[in-house]
Amino acid sequence: MKVLVTGANGLLGANIVQELNRRRIQVRVFVRKNADMSGLDGCDFEVFRGNITHKDAVIEAAHSCDYIIHAAANTGPAPSNYWYYHPVNVSGTKNVIEAAKTTSSKRIVFISTANTMGYGSCEDPGVENRLIDPLFEQSGYARSKLEAENLIVEAVNENQIKAIILNPTFMIGPRDAKPSSGRILLSILNHRLVILPPGGKNFIHVKDVAWASCEALSKGKPGEKYLLANKNLSYKEFFNVVNSISEEKQSLVIIPKAFLVAAGYIGSLLHRLQIKTDLNRINAKILCVHNYYSGQKAARTFNMRYSQLETALEEALDWFAKNEYLQLPNPAYSH
């Protein structure tokens, strides 16, 4: 049995490769030329280098592979322009579908995002049957992933492929070489003053998502979505957990919603002037909402027990410290 993992050098992809290794499953990774592979240190795999937007390369990579876990994605925080995300997230997914059809792969596990479905509150969290929220419809990233999901579902309904869709929330954990979601930790730590947005989100250990990705090779109903979601926290609550683990002493300031939204509009204006900035009007508004979800369907389907957020944070901090991304006062994270 061999599995092709696209986007294998990213946070999730690297943890998927590690989990496949643990299960003694052969792995072929699909990565760009000159991709940073440091997140895969210690893992066992074949390497195929190519571009996910090149159909022939994806088909060639998929040959002799029994399954495809499609984790490659453009997750950049800016701009929100849909066409910025389309080549990798939509066209790349079309190529993976074609590769599965051409090579007779048994199943695609497509990694999407929770933001393609409506969020909720702590009391009534978002679930799989909720339509995307109008705010996230304005996000180029969420729109592109939703379109990719629709391509997957259409191909399944036409009996062209077998595939399921996984929708993780905000992942935290080790092997975040880029870094991606770990940027939130690096922006908090080693600063005396921490400025946080007023909203919140759901957090999950990346290893739980990797586990579900591997379980999904044989479990789950083709064409269905599975939210992978664990802990709903405001950004302030998340900061307090990080601070207690890292043992740093910091001052906290929560940005008023009106100020953050105004800054987002300025960021959008700067982008139009071709000045790079991670903040734009859509991202600013998203940072003000509490987009909370439930992962109970996935827990039942994949026989999961979600890990403690503290465990995810400890492993992330340990990895960042050992790889010299940061220095922490807690000796547990020293070399």
State residue 48 phi and psi, 5-degree precision.
-125, 120
Q: Contact 182/172 with Cβ under 8 angstroms?
A: yes
pLDDT recorded at residue 335: 34
CA distance 138 to 86: 14
Q: How does strand 290-291 pair with strand 193-196?
A: unpaired
pLDDT-based confidence at 327, cuts 50/70/90? low
* More confidently predicted of 335 and 193: 193
Tell me the pLDDT tens digit for each residue of 164-185: 999 999 999 999 999 999 999 9
pLDDT recorded at residue 79: 65
Q: Could you tell me the residue ranges of all domains in the chain?
A: 2-173+201-230+292-308
pLDDT recorded at residue 78: 62
Q: How many CA atoms, within 13 angstroms, populate the side-chain half-sphere of residue 228?
A: 33
pLDDT at 20 over 50: yes
pLDDT recorded at residue 307: 98
pLDDT recorded at residue 332: 46
Q: HEC states along the chain?
A: CEEEEECCCCHHHHHHHHHHHHCCCEEEEEECCCCCCHHHCCCCCEEEECCCCCHHHHHHHHCCCCEEEECCCCCCCCCCCHHHHHHHHHHHHHHHHHHHHHHCCCEEEEECCHHHCCCECCCCCECCCCCCCHHHHCCHHHHHHHHHHHHHHHHHHCCCCCEEEEEECEEECCCCCCCCCCHHHHHHCCCCEEEECCCEEEEEEHHHHHHHHHHCCCCCCCCCEEEECCEEEEHHHHHHHHHHHHCCCCEEEECCHHHHHHHHHHHHHHHHCCCCCCCCHHHHHHCCCEEEECCHHHHHHCCCCCCCHHHHHHHHHHHHHHCCCCCCCCHHHCC
CA distance 174 to 176: 6
Mean of the per-residue pLDDT values of the chain = 94
State residue 205 phi and psi, 5-degree precision.
-70, 130
pLDDT at 334 over 60: no
pLDDT recorded at residue 156: 98
Residue 264's CB is within 10 A of a number of other CB atoms, namely 22
pLDDT at 328 over 60: no
Lowest mean pLDDT among 39-48, 135-144, 326-335: 326-335
CATH of 2-173+201-230+292-308, picked from 3.40.50.720, 3.40.50.300, 1.10.3720.10, 3.40.605.10, is 3.40.50.720
Q: What percent of the chain has pLDDT over 70?
A: 96
pLDDT at 190 over 80: no
